[in-house]
């Protein structure tokens, strides 16, 4: 039992001490790694689909419009996946260098509940709210 406690303390990053336990961090790390792999596959698949559609358009101009629209949709999804992948890789970096769970904007703890729900979150809820564009009237 004592051995377990010593091991946990050694693994515990300096920051976010109260927020997440080593077991949580391991779980989040595994989740983020898996997510990054899925997103990479999604991006590759989208790229291939767009390339195939483009080749199709050259061959058959009749329904090029439909295919261009489909390609645009695919590209939008790919960009979204790409953005998410960057956030996911950023979170994995922070896990490695011990800054995971620290808001990249204000430096305060992001909060364990938020990190469990959104492990790739870069900023705390307060900073996310203030950075949102004001609603148009
Ligand atoms: Zn913040």
| Ligand 1 center from residue 105 Cα (angstroms) | 5
| pLDDT score for 39 | 98
CA of 123 to the centre of ligand 1 (A): 5
**pLDDT at position 16, please?**
43
Q: Mean pLDDT, the chain, as a whole number?
A: 84
Rounded distance, CA 83 to CA 43, Å?
A: 10
CATH topology of domain 20-131: 1.20.120
Distance 118 CA to ligand 1 centre (A): 15
Task: Say how many Å lie between the CA of residue 45 and the centre of ligand 1.
Answer: 35
What would the mean pLDDT of 120-137 be, rounded to a whole number?
81
pLDDT band at 133 (very low <50, low <70, confident <90, very high): low
Residue 81 has pLDDT above 90, yes or no: yes
Ligand 1 mean position to 119 CA, how many Å?
A: 15
Residue (of 97, 103, 134) closest to 118 by Cα position: 103
Task: Indicate if the pLDDT at residue 105 is higher than 70.
Answer: yes
Check residue 10 and give its pLDDT.
Answer: 45
What percent of the chain lies above the pLDDT cut of 70?
Answer: 77
> Residues 17-75: pLDDT tens digits?
455 788 989 999 999 999 999 999 999 999 999 998 888 766 666 677 888 888 899 99
Compute, in angstroms, the gap from residue 134 CA to the centroid of ligand 1.
18
């Amino acid at each position: 039992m004592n051995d377990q406690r010593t091991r946990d303390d050694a693994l515990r990053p300096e920051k976010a001490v109260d927020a997440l336990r080593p077991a949580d961090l391991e779980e989040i790390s595994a989740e983020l790694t898996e997510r990054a792999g899925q997103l990479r596959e999604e991006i590759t698949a989208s790229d291939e689909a767009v390339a195939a559609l483009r080749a199709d358009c050259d061959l058959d101009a009749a329904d090029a419009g439909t295919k261009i629209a489909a390609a645009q949709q695919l590209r939008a999804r790919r960009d979204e996946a790409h953005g998410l992948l960057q956030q996911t890789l950023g979170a994995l970096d922070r896990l490695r260098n011990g800054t995971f769970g620290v808001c990249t904007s204000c430096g305060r703890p992001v909060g364990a509940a938020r990190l469990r729900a959104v492990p790739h979150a870069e900023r705390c809820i307060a900073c996310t709210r203030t950075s949102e564009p004001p609603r148009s009237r």
